[in-house]
Structure 1
């Protein structure tokens, strides 16, 4: 089997059913075959421009292909290729709360003990990827924290937020405007917004994988992924594992369905930090999914953070909890930049505060930056 045979099959499939196209991820079992296919595809493009709709996913390796829904991998190729539906993914937040005028340090940032660490670490120069709806580049609380990032929906444009969710996440992680606005967990961290979600808060798995790939290539240290899906994606799993092996840690939200014993993907993958939400009282929030697969809980109820057009909004969800943990990882990495993803996950798990009245067996505890700093001093 060579790259030419794969190109011929894809060309035939694309030409046979344009009316019923759907987004599909074509994964290659071996890197060598993927490389041969890429070489053959580039040579065929001038003759068959319809192949230009195929996009690369080098981090897996795989391709994004618009194929008819009934398309199957030919029997002769099944040891080498597999197809996966390019699923839609939703952000993890409850319906938006009210616009507020609160200033200073939000309760969640105080609750996890972040201010007690700022004399030692503020997340200085740690690169944080936020795969989300983009950010409000004009927000005064974020102007010192933002890098350009990337817009995967419109490549020539800034990843400008048209939803609000990504701005809220970025604010909790690294806002730095304490006197006129708010301050986040790691106010000197660098936010690299990766816009994969549209104004409705929807993205495709392939765009999330492209976002992970961009983070790996650009030396991002930690990635916030405040979204979830109910079904497992082999392609996303492979991308998460690839990032982990490359030294990029992913922090993911458990979901807001109030389920006990099950959490959403990608938080369910072992190579992420899975986050549940707590209340001001240090109890598990009623809306959060929870199970023994959660690594840490963090504030997620009525969290005030940055919003569109320079405003602030109160929101609840495991998304909000996840951004607290991502900020804490940035504080840790600024202090100990050589820590590997597995080591960071272990430090966070070992430094938690036990939850109040938890009925979940083998339950993780609540994030504590204070305990985290004490533990890292012993390493």
Structure 2
């Protein structure tokens, strides 16, 4: 299987060596990492013979597609049984290499990148998820795909579809309830998921599924109804691998809710949930305690767990959840508000899953979870309190 990888992936020293000449720049100075691949060969394969085959493939493709020129093989790596090569290939060549008998199956696809875009004067939370450290303040770097072709189902109080943040990218669920937001929380979460200014995945389609009323209250029945509809809609419309479900609500542990999340995972559907805001063990809450949920805790500007965020082994990852700015309802279709909570943190991670789905082949929930684990920043969350010390990162290279 083809080993798709950004030239700076952490574990591959040889790839770092190749980085200087492997990355091209576009005319406007942005990095262009599209259509660049690393291919690993199985042990015992004759590398010279395989590379001759690849060169023939490249020559037969003419090396040009829609005005774009592809350079073919650029680097060779050979250490004992490890044999691999890097190159710039057109889609026809890539398809033939993907399942070639010589190439190694690498498991979950490593990170790939498109051209990067810089959002200046970005909210602090977006800066944090696009940087390993604290440098380059005020900028949010993200891949140009930015969630294009993906769908984020979010279970909340609905949405104001006319808000300027969403640019018509809403696809309201026809059931179980009309998704007009009379509380504001759903619109706020949608802004983090996919708003053009305040959002992580700026080109995703947002599918609001209303389970919270105007007081932000719900029931287990309403949650299960909305969740079941979302899972079935994803399965029926062949959206596995290009969809994620975000649940904003949190309550006491429920075997039924947890089992539903686990069942969806088995079908390939990714579910992201908040850890809860009680400063207690997330294992006592649902859907936070579901084994197959991605449970998210909240951090402040300094990547410290907030005082309200739940903790414990069920928390898989942390993301910003303190004094976040996003879209709101009332006044105008440009209304904004600030809020804090683990629902806000979960929205960052759900948005990031959709963002990654738009330019990586995350075909199952298992692959998405593994991928998130690989790219996240490790060991930077303070006072994580028995939770996984992972911080959400969009693998911008910054």
Q: TM-score, normalised by structure 1?
A: 0.64
Q: What per-residue deviation string (whole Å, max 9, x for no partner) do you get for residues 133-161 of structure 1?
A: 000122111133211223524xxxx3100
Residue in structure 1 matched with residue 95 of structure 2 by the alignment: none
Contact persistence 1:135–1:164 (CA under 8 A): yes
Q: What per-residue deviation string (whole Å, max 9, x for no partner) do you get for residues 312-349 of structure 1?
A: 00000001000000110011111124431112112222
Contact persistence 2:305–2:384 (CA under 8 A): no
Contact persistence 1:130–1:224 (CA under 8 A): yes
CA distance 1:106–1:230, shift in 2 (3 Å): same
Aligned partner of residue 343 in structure 2, secondary structure: helix
Distance in 2 separating the partners of 1:321 and 1:243: 22
Contact persistence 2:281–2:311 (CA under 8 A): yes
Aligned partner of residue 308 in structure 1, secondary structure: coil
Distance in 2 separating the partners of 1:273 and 1:242: 14
Higher relative contact order, structure no. (Cα contacts within 8 Å, ≥ 6 residues apart): 1
Distance in 1 separating the partners of 2:340 and 2:395: 24
Task: Identify the match of residue 163 of structure 2 among 139, 143, 166.
Answer: 139
Q: CA deviation at 1:356?
A: 4.2
Distance in 1 separating the partners of 2:181 and 2:343: 16
Q: CA deviation at 1:132?
A: 0.6
In structure 1, the gaps of 5 or more residues are 1-102, 177-181, 375-379
Task: Identify the match of residue 207 of structure 1 among 201, 219, 222.
Answer: 222
Residue in structure 2 matched with residue 360 of structure 1 by the alignment: 385
Paired residues for 1:26-37 under 5 Å: none
Q: CA deviation at 1:362?
A: 5.5
Aligned partner of residue 327 in structure 1, secondary structure: helix
Distance in 1 separating the partners of 2:266 and 2:384: 34
Q: CA deviation at 1:195?
A: 0.5
Contact persistence 1:145–1:191 (CA under 8 A): yes
Structure number with the higher helix fraction is 1
1:243 aligns with 2:264: yes
Residue in structure 2 matched with residue 86 of structure 1 by the alignment: none
Contact persistence 1:150–1:193 (CA under 8 A): no
Task: Identify the match of residue 192 of structure 2 among 156, 172, 175.
Answer: 172
1:369 aligns with 2:394: yes
Give RMSD over aligned pairs.
2.2
Residue in structure 2 matched with residue 62 of structure 1 by the alignment: none
Residue in structure 1 matched with residue 353 of structure 2 by the alignment: 329
Deviates more, 1:135-144 or 1:193-202: 135-144
Aligned partner of residue 225 in structure 2, secondary structure: helix
Aligned partner of residue 370 in structure 1, secondary structure: coil
Residue in structure 1 matched with residue 252 of structure 2 by the alignment: 230
Residue in structure 1 matched with residue 372 of structure 2 by the alignment: 348
Aligned partner of residue 296 in structure 2, secondary structure: strand
Contact persistence 2:273–2:296 (CA under 8 A): yes
Contact persistence 2:322–2:339 (CA under 8 A): yes
Q: CA deviation at 1:105?
A: 2.8
Task: Identify the match of residue 321 of structure 2 among 271, 276, 300.
Answer: 300
Residue in structure 1 matched with residue 290 of structure 2 by the alignment: 269
In structure 2, the gaps of 5 or more residues are 1-119, 132-139
CA distance 1:295–1:160, shift in 2 (3 Å): same
Residue in structure 1 matched with residue 274 of structure 2 by the alignment: 253
CA distance 1:368–1:263, shift in 2 (3 Å): farther
Q: CA deviation at 1:217?
A: 2.3
1:192 aligns with 2:192: no
Contact persistence 1:212–1:243 (CA under 8 A): no
